[in-house]
């Protein structure tokens, strides 16, 4: 919400233009009844049709002036709304990328829903508020002012029922907001559930889980339907309140005006002018304002709240600390994805000195990648400290931290450009000789030769390269960087065992701190120490030590050894079958 108002506030020049346009737009609402009263009293009722037509001509001119104001509003609307949309898109992207619960190996249907639904709701609702609600407020205020100036006695017959209706409508707003939010969340759950089933359809069919998949989507749709019905009921009640507030004042004026005209308390022209204010201006404006508030405003507030829940708070300014060396230390580190979630890392103590080679192993989803985020400063612990060179890693000057720590995930990032541009991304000053030496060290020399050298152009997203080849180039990039702390998060998952071993040995011989999140347990055999994550239990030690001390580690190693032996027993494919 704060980001929304800040982004709107930056468009203050456009807001001033809209305010000026509102003055023009309100002119017909303020003058309509007064001009009709003059046309009747000084013209038609006085036996001077020409004068009456002249006043109506003025009314027409004022209406044209109001139309010009409305046109200027639409002309300036995009300059206010579109920059706001761009700001929100950036906030959602940061939120999705920084959300550890976001799926990394599958489409994020909920994130797509936030893009396609919530941001567009905010954009359209803001435009609606700036056009409709602003116009309705201006028209209502102008019409009431005009009504009191023409027929003050009748104005009270309008003000009291309108205020009562608005009070009843205000009492309904919390219910409307709650039900609109429930409907929004139900829409998201349908998108997330259906997206998960459709993207994993092959696995669903392979496991024979079609019935469970259909049931999960049906449950989400049923919840959405229930929420829609409840929202419809609240909307119907709102419509009733608005109708009463709009028509009761008109009925009271029709009942009171004839007697006041007969008693000489009100002229016929003033009575007709009051009816013009009420029937042609005030009543439609009130109905439109209520409709806009209960639909556009509610949708806007709910969408902003939902976006606020999925977007990170404003980032703090980067630190200024200068670390003393590149040793990493963790002291009592605890981290969970949410204030009430079960921690995935709990009270962890760890020391890593230059020259250390650590392998992190554990079941899938146990928190290995989360620990990598903590080590690199991408995540901040909820308790405890992560120190780089004796300084909190998140407090180290960002530019220096990025030079000291290098990280690569399983999904290799390569961009359209030359091979050299990709390899030198973390080491802009590296020479061709440096890059070729890094490629030879990690085993990518033959790949560079096959590609045609450092100045070969790569397509978008490394089109034409296999996943293993893309990983090799990412490893070259890391090796060539000046980083003294390297974290490989399953960065060799698409390499064959021999290529993986060569790359890991190259990084171990490179110096500095090496942390490998193991895809294969052979990485644990090559490491100096192994950290086993197993829920509440966290063990650190050498391979032989952990085999004796950790049943989980022994089970993982036994399962990996058995799987490797089975793979080696399968005869190789013939060249034709390949």
Per-residue pLDDT of the chain (578 residues; tens, 9 = 90+): 677 777 777 767 777 777 777 777 777 877 887 788 788 888 888 888 899 899 889 888 888 888 887 787 777 777 777 777 777 777 766 665 555 444 444 445 555 555 566 777 777 777 777 776 677 777 777 777 777 778 777 777 777 777 787 788 778 878 887 887 788 788 878 887 888 788 777 767 777 778 888 888 899 899 999 999 998 888 888 778 777 777 788 788 888 888 888 888 888 888 888 778 777 777 777 667 666 666 676 677 767 776 666 555 544 555 788 888 889 999 999 888 766 667 888 888 999 999 999 999 887 778 888 898 899 888 888 899 999 999 999 888 888 998 999 998 877 888 888 999 999 999 999 999 999 999 999 999 999 999 999 999 988 767 788 888 999 999 999 999 999 999 998 888 888 889 999 999 999 999 999 999 987 788 888 999 999 887 667 888 888 888 888 777 787 777 767 655 554 544 444 333 33
Q: How far apart are CA 96 and CA 307, in angstroms?
A: 11
pLDDT score for 366: 80
Helices (H), 315-451: 368-376, 398-404, 419-423, 432-442, 445-451
Dist. CA 40–CA 32, nearest whole Å: 12
Percentage helix, strand, coil, to 5, in the chain? Answer: 65, 10, 25
Backbone φ and ψ for 576, nearest 5 degrees, come out as: -70, -40
| Domain boundaries for CATH 1.20.1560.10 within the chain | 2-310
Fold of 328-568: Rossmann fold (3.40.50)
Looking at residue 145, what is its pLDDT?
78
**CATH 3.40.50.300 occupies which residues in the chain?**
328-568
Which of helix, strand or coil describes residue 287? helix
Instruction: Name the fold adopted by 2-310.
Output: ABC transporter transmembrane region fold (1.20.1560)
Q: End-to-end CA distance of the chain, in Å?
A: 57
Nearest to 270 by CA among 36, 43, 27, 62: 36
Rounded Cα distance, 74 and 342, in Å: 51
Please report which residue ranges of 381-466 form alpha helices under DSSP H: 398-404, 419-423, 432-442, 445-451
Query: Among the residues of 200-209, which ranges form H helices?
Result: 201-206
* Two structure tokens written together for 191: 């998108």
Burial (CB < 10 A; 0-12, 13-18, 19+), residue 316, is exposed
Helices then strands, counting H and E runs in the chain, come out as 22, 12
- Residue 197 CA to residue 200 CA, distance in Å, equals 5
Angstrom distance (rounded) from CA 297 to CA 133? 9
């Amino acid at each position: 919400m704060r980001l929304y108002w800040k982004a709107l506030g930056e468009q203050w020049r456009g807001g001033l233009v809209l305010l000026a346009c509102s003055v023009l737009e309100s002119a017909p609402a303020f003058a309509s009844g007064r001009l009709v009263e003059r046309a009747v009293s000084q013209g038609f009722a006085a036996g001077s049709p020409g004068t009456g037509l002249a006043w109506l001509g003025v009314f027409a001119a004022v209406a044209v002036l109001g139309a010009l104001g409305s046109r200027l509003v639409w002309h300036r609307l995009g300059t206010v709304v579109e920059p706001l949309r761009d700001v929100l898109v950036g906030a959602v992207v940061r939120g999705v990328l920084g959300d550890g619960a976001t799926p990394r190996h599958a489409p994020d249907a909920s994130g797509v829903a936030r893009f396609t639904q919530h941001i567009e709701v905010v954009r359209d609702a803001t435009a609606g508020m700036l056009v409709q609600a602003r116009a309705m407020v201006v028209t209502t205020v102008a019409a009431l002012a005009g009504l009191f100036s023409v027929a003050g006695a009748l104005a009270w017959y309008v003000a009291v029922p309108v205020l009562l209706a608005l009070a009843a409508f205000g009492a309904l707003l919390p219910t409307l907001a709650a039900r609109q939010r429930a409907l929004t969340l139900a829409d998201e759950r349908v998108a997330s559930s259906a997206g998960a089933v459709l993207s994993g359809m092959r696995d669903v069919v392979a496991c024979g889980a079609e019935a469970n998949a259909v049931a999960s989507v049906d449950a989400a749709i049923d919840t959405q339907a229930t929420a829609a019905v409840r929202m419809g009921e609240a909307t119907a009640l709102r419509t009733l309140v608005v109708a009463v507030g709009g028509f009761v004042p008109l009925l009271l004026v029709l009942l009171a005006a004839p007697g006041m005209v007969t008693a000489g308390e009100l002229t016929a022209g003033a009575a007709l002018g009051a009816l013009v204010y009420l029937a042609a201006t005030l009543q439609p404006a009130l109905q439109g304002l209520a409709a806009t508030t209960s639909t556009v405003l509610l949708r806007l507030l709910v969408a902003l709240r939902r976006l606020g829940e999925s977007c990170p708070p404003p980032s703090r300014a980067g630190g200024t600390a200068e670390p003393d060396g590149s040793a990493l230390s963790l002291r009592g580190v605890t981290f969970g994805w949410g204030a009430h979630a079960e921690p995935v890392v709990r009270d962890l103590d760890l020391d890593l000195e230059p020259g250390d080679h650590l392998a992190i192993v554990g079941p899938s989803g146990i928190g290995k990648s989360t620990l990598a985020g903590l080590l690199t400063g991408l995540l901040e612990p909820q308790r405890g400290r992560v120190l780089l060179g004796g300084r909190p890693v998140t407090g180290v000057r960002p530019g220096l931290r990025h030079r000291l720590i290098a990280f690569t995930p399983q999904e290799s990032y390569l961009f359209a450009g030359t091979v050299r541009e990709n390899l030198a991304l973390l080491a802009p000053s590296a020479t061709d000789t440096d890059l070729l030496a890094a490629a030879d060290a990690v085993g990518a020399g033959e790949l560079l030769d096959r590609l045609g050298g450092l100045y070969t152009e790569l397509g978008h997203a490394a089109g034409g390269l296999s996943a293993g080849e893309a990983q090799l180039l990412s490893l070259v990039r890391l090796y060539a960087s000046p980083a003294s702390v390297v974290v490989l998060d399953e960065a060799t998952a698409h390499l064959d065992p021999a290529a993986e071993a060569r790359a890991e040995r190259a990084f171990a011989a490179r110096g500095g701190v090496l942390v490998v999140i193991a895809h294969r347990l052979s990485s644990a055999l090559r490491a100096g120490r192994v950290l086993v994550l197993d829920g509440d239990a966290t063990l650190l030690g050498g391979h032989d030590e952990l085999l004796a001390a950790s049943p989980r580690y022994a089970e993982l190693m036994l399962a990996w050894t058995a799987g490797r032996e089975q793979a080696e027993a399968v005869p190789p494919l013939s060249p034709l079958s390949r």
